[in-house]
Structure 1
């Protein structure tokens, strides 16, 4: 079974507000264990988290070994004040404060650093991303600081400008990466970055009534085209579902994501080897002191 390369253990997959309410005063082991048990019983032995600011992923790292799970976490994500990211992290207002956040994550036991460089999909305006992306020079400095401290960098990034800036900055993985164009995918193919597309965060919304299916279908079709192109260009890609997001359940999420890959590309030995290689890269790079270990 493939591992889960993008999860949020503090989320429950159906109600964000309830998830926050349940753990905002401190991690609740019984809830964490329920999620870990879902991974264990489905044979998922690797989970890379995207962090939170409630200490849940930090506590999960202490419990995961009991379930035979290799669990990696940034503890919390780091985002620019006034930009998207509060849901999963802690903010910074200048680069000195960013560096302090990196050191704070290190002190808390982070395996890697997660940064937030753009907003989310704008479901009311196809092709648009909410908020303003961080400029490339700022992203480069953020990545440089994290690498200098011995950390790989996981980057929440969407949109053409955002992804290109992240690639130029040398991030080790790009999470989501919605709305890339051919030029951006070519840049990604020439880099060592691993793309984690989290396809089911949109695919699993079909028919739920939260957004128009016609809008969701357009987004999924774009994602499918980009995944096909990524396979053709042999871009490094790994399976991650964003488990904990709405309608993306822990354990089942990665199964759904694998099914999406196979629906789009076919379930062939070549496709499986490609997916396995992406996960191997994630496993090798996303542990403290191992940034940029993989060289072409």
Structure 2
């Protein structure tokens, strides 16, 4: 794709930074970067020299902060088992397809949350796309996590495991709890690692310039993870208000991944008890998100795509809608998937529309109040100043 110097007019702009929606905006791009942002009247423009998106809202390119690219999100268990045991070539086909699905929804960057063979470490996207990699997640031997990671035995030094892939990884993924129980509401599993072990992992990660994302559900697993100095809590179901306050105090991001539990409700073959508990878990997590917003916890949108019934790309729209259900405005939801996520992933060049930033953005039809639904059919996607064919 050839980079062109262009100007774009839109009726509405959500820039990822402001809490306000700007109207009647002219964006000028030079060498793939934003050189000027102006408030104008359409009738004053020479439309021949401007790309006209006057019926559209423009937003920054989106970021999904929690995906598993090696899996498709199939809800058929037999198919999922096959995917978890594929060779690299088969897995690469799945990853290629998943990346295309993300791009189709205007997602230009993802943070992978682990695969059991570390295949993502060797994957290079064939299209302009940001992929933050961790390879294999780390979990305690005998505990939950074997399908996305490698076990840490009682004889292993977690620092040595981290340093093995230091030249390939962008971040570290550690699993510090189990998953939600659908038969016992609010059941908490024991932490997989103690505070000393997690602190060692965070210290080692920082020494190589990598952040640490921690899978943690329940009060104690999350509390230990916070004390270790991790950069983000993944999932965080049933963590409680005290942990949310600590996350706000220590500037730790939360990636709540709400849609996976809804996917079980929609696609899982659940008993009455399991269905009732899943619905309660969903409502509890939405309430925690509401409280997190009130307390000032930084939330980055992540879908857990690749999990049971959680399709890449499509689930992003579902996750955004769930944030709206939790009390977020459209602008706040967009921020969680743009500027907040870009800070978490360390992708300074994207995540907002501002002078000097990369010209990576999407245009969707209609007023911002309809922008989430309009992601089903994106009008245009520009990546690094170039129009991307959908």
Change (3 A) 1:9 1:271: closer
Task: Give the distance between the partners of 2:316 and 2:122, measured in 1 at CA.
Answer: 22
Corresponding residue of 2:247? 188
1:84 correspondence with 2:144: yes
Task: Give the distance between the partners of 1:163 and 1:259, measured in 2 at CA.
Answer: 26
Q: Using the TM superposition, give the Cα deviation of residue 52 of structure 1 relative to its aligned residue in structure 2, in angstroms.
A: 0.8
Q: Using the TM superposition, give the Cα deviation of residue 59 of structure 1 relative to its aligned residue in structure 2, in angstroms.
A: 3.2
Q: Using the TM superposition, give the Cα deviation of residue 106 of structure 1 relative to its aligned residue in structure 2, in angstroms.
A: 1.5
1:146 correspondence with 2:205: yes
1:32 correspondence with 2:95: yes
CA contact (8 A) 1:119 1:157 kept: yes
Structure 2 matches for 1:119-138, cutoff 5 A? 119-130=178-189, 132-138=191-197
Q: Using the TM superposition, give the Cα deviation of residue 132 of structure 1 relative to its aligned residue in structure 2, in angstroms.
A: 4.6
Equivalent of 1:215, from 260, 277, 280? 277
Q: Using the TM superposition, give the Cα deviation of residue 104 of structure 1 relative to its aligned residue in structure 2, in angstroms.
A: 1.7
Equivalent of 2:322, from 260, 281, 288? 260
1:72 correspondence with 2:145: no
SS at 2:103's partner residue?
Answer: helix
CA contact (8 A) 1:154 1:173 kept: yes
CA contact (8 A) 2:117 2:135 kept: no
Corresponding residue of 2:113? 50
Mean alpha-carbon deviation: is it higher for 216-225 or for 265-274? 265-274
Structure 1 residue ranges without an equivalent (≥5): 287-296
- Greater radius of gyration (CA): 2
C-alpha distance after superposition, 1:55-102 (max 9, x if no partner): 331233x1x2x2221011101111121222211111222475322211
1:21 correspondence with 2:82: yes
Change (3 A) 1:150 1:163: same
Q: Using the TM superposition, give the Cα deviation of residue 285 of structure 1 relative to its aligned residue in structure 2, in angstroms.
A: 7.5
> If the length of structure 1 is used for normalisation, what is the TM-score?
0.88
Change (3 A) 1:45 1:194: same
Corresponding residue of 2:293? 231
CA contact (8 A) 1:95 1:142 kept: no
Corresponding residue of 2:64? 4
> If the length of structure 2 is used for normalisation, what is the TM-score?
0.68
SS at 1:204's partner residue?
Answer: helix
Structure (1/2) with the larger strand percentage: 2
Equivalent of 2:233, from 157, 164, 174? 174
SS at 1:90's partner residue?
Answer: strand
Mean alpha-carbon deviation: is it higher for 98-107 or for 182-191? 98-107
Task: Give the distance between the partners of 1:193 and 1:43, measured in 2 at CA.
Answer: 26
Change (3 A) 1:12 1:275: closer
Structure 1's consecutive aligned runs of 4 or more residues displaced over 4 angstroms after TM superposition are none
Task: Give the distance between the partners of 2:336 and 2:98, measured in 1 at CA.
Answer: 28
Q: Using the TM superposition, give the Cα deviation of residue 19 of structure 1 relative to its aligned residue in structure 2, in angstroms.
A: 4.0
Equivalent of 2:174, from 102, 107, 115? 115
